[in-house]
Structure formats: C-alpha cells, structure tokens
C-alpha cells in the first residue's frame, strides 16, 4: 500500500513474511462512524515458524467459483429482466453491428417506456391511476 506521508514506508499487508496487520481505529465524527485514523502496524512476519506459515497458506480457498464467467448472466439477459421489472415494453432491434456477440444472431432487446396512464387504466386500480395522473402532470 502506498502511504500518504513521507515518513511512512510502503508495505504489502498481504505478504506473510514482511506484511503488516491493520489497526482499525473508530471514532465518531458529526454523529457518524469514521475510520480515517486507521493504519497499518509495523511490518513483521506473520509467524516465525515456516511450518505454521505453510499451514496457513494451505488453508486458502479458491475463488474460482466466484469469478468464473459461466456463473454470471449475460448483459442482454440482465437488461431483459430489468426492463420487465420496470414495466417497460421489450422490442427486438435489428442490428448489423460487428460487435453483436449474441448466439444465432438473436438481437438484444431495447426497452421503451410504456404509457403509465394506459397501463394504470387497464389495471382498474385506483392507487395506480392516481400515481399515473401525478406522473402525467409532471
């Protein structure tokens, strides 16, 4: 980490031999928690025994399951779900862009806002029609 002041030396807190512990200092500033005074302790080995360091190292867990791209939905899937949740109409778009990476040339949907007054009237809900009228006046 890069220190803010010249009298401090840079330290890699994740290094098991010359790393540093983090000292969290909490204070109340204007009624809220503040951590600005927190700092790293002096650099030192995590443990003097190499066998203990190796045991700690072997306890690490792989993060591959959390960073694997196959566990994430595509942008078009997420965008489609967002438009449905927001109550917008979904219309397919013809796109000849070379950057379209959709399989089988399926085009990404484009959201267009639905008419809130028409949607509220079709629901026959007094609350929704009231809010739709407010939105139309704004």
- At 61-87, the pLDDT tens digits run 999 989 998 889 999 999 999 998 998
Tell me the two tokens of residue 123: 């629901």
- For residue 97, the model assigns a pLDDT of 54
The closest alpha carbon to 46, from 15, 4, 67, 24, belongs to: 15
Give the chain's count of helices (H) and strands (E).
Answer: 5, 6
| Per-residue confidence (pLDDT) for residue 94, from 0 to 100 | 59
Asked whether residue 58 carries a pLDDT value surpassing 90, the answer given is yes
Residues contacting residue 21 through CB under 8 Å, at least 6 positions apart: 13, 40, 41
Q: Could you tell me how many residues make up the chain?
A: 138
Work out the pLDDT band at 130, boundaries 50, 70, 90.
Answer: confident
At residue 129, the pLDDT reads 79
Taking residues 47-57, report their average pLDDT: 90
pLDDT bucket at 103, cuts 50 / 70 / 90: low
The pLDDT tens digits for 12-33 are: 888 888 888 899 999 999 999 9
Structure tokens at 125: 């809900």
- Retrieve residue 73's tokens: 């939905």
């Amino acid at each position: 980490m890069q220190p803010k002041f010249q009298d401090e030396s840079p330290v890699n807190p994740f290094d098991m031999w010359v790393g540093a512990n983090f000292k969290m200092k909490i204070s109340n500033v204007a009624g809220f928690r503040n951590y600005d005074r927190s700092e790293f302790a002096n650099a030192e080995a995590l443990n003097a025994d190499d066998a203990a360091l190796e045991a700690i190292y072997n306890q690490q867990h792989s993060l591959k399951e959390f960073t694997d791209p196959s566990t994430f939905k595509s942008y078009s899937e997420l965008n489609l779900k967002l438009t449905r949740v927001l109550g917008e109409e979904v219309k397919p778009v013809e796109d000849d862009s070379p950057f379209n990476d959709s399989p089988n040339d399926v085009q990404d949907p484009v959201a267009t806002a639905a008419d809130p007054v028409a949607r509220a009237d079709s629901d026959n809900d007094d609350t929704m029609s009231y809010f739709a009228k407010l939105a139309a006046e704004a």
